[in-house]
A and B are shown apart, each in its own frame.
Chain A
Amino acid sequence: EAGVTQSPTHLIKTRGQQATLRCSPISGHTSVYWYQQALGLGLQFLLWYDEGEERNRGNFPPRFSGRQFPNYSSELNVNALELEDSALYLCASSPRAGYGETQYFGPGTRLLVL
């Protein structure tokens, strides 16, 4: 069974540009979560989607947004990029929207903003 996949693996942008990151959950999983991991730090919760709707978001500005498609894949968009947005962005999925559910992580997209 294929795991969570993310693309691209690496992304280089300049300040002010927009970045689009993509995530495909494990087949049959309906919930997708996005996290930001800055270098040397723990994961910060960004967004949670389930059944196509945004269910919760962390303490990030509105320029971080996303969506979930009917096939449950998801996109994270970061507008007006700033240098401090450079980080590893991780996507995770879970089979259901229960908060005790295990989350399965993808390998991440490393975003570098110059």
Chain B
Amino acid sequence: DAKTTQPNSMESNEEEPVHLPCNHSTISGTDYIHWYRQLPSQGPEYVIHGLTSNVNNRMASLAIAEDRKSSTLILHRATLRDAAVYYCILRKPNYQLIWGAGTKLIIKP
């Protein structure tokens, strides 16, 4: 079964870049890679997604390995508001999302 593996937690200093890794070695060719984040007592918030090529948006960048077995979410300048649990997710063609356990990102002032 497809799944994603992420570190339980990571720490970073404010205003520094953050690289959040994700392994998805069982990914299928048609699976999209999505990233969401979730603050306490809130619903998940979309961050970014991609299929094969690297992607950039106003929130973050997504770097996808050439073999697609791993990806990295990059926050270019972390702020205290970026502290959240970040989920790396595979989206299947049948619309199911395969969620990992998430990485708790701690930002130190």
1/0 per residue, CB under 8 A from B, across A64-101: the answer is 00000000000000000000000000101000010110
Distance from B93 Cβ to chain A, minimum over Cβ atoms (Å): 5
Q: Are B43 and A108 in contact (CB under 8 A)?
A: yes
Distance from A90 Cβ to chain B, minimum over Cβ atoms (Å): 5
Q: Are B97 and A45 in contact (CB under 8 A)?
A: yes
Q: Are B95 and A105 in contact (CB under 8 A)?
A: no
* A-B residue pair count with CB separations less than 8 angstroms: 53
What is the CA–CA distance of A13 and B105 in the complex, to the nearest angstrom? 34
Is B100 part of the binding interface, using a Cβ–Cβ cutoff of 8 Å? Answer: yes
Is B45 part of the binding interface, using a Cβ–Cβ cutoff of 8 Å? Answer: yes
Is A42 part of the binding interface, using a Cβ–Cβ cutoff of 8 Å? Answer: yes
- CB-nearest residue of chain B to A91: B43
1/0 per residue, CB under 8 A from B, across A43-57: the answer is 111001000000110
| Given A42-B87, A42-B101, A42-B102, residue A99 in contact with residue B43 (CB < 8 A) | no
1/0 per residue, CB under 8 A from A, across B42-65: the answer is 111110010100000000000000
What is the CA–CA distance of A39 and B99 in the complex, to the nearest angstrom? 15
Distance from A65 Cβ to chain B, minimum over Cβ atoms (Å): 18
In the complex, what residues of A have CB within 8 A of residue B42's CB? 107-108
Q: Are A105 and B45 in contact (CB under 8 A)?
A: yes
Instruction: Give chain B's interface residues, CB within 8 Å of chain A.
Output: 32, 34, 36, 42-46, 49, 51, 87, 91-97, 99-102
Instruction: Give chain A's interface residues, CB within 8 Å of chain B.
Output: 4, 33, 35, 41-45, 48, 55-56, 58, 90, 92, 97, 99-100, 102-108
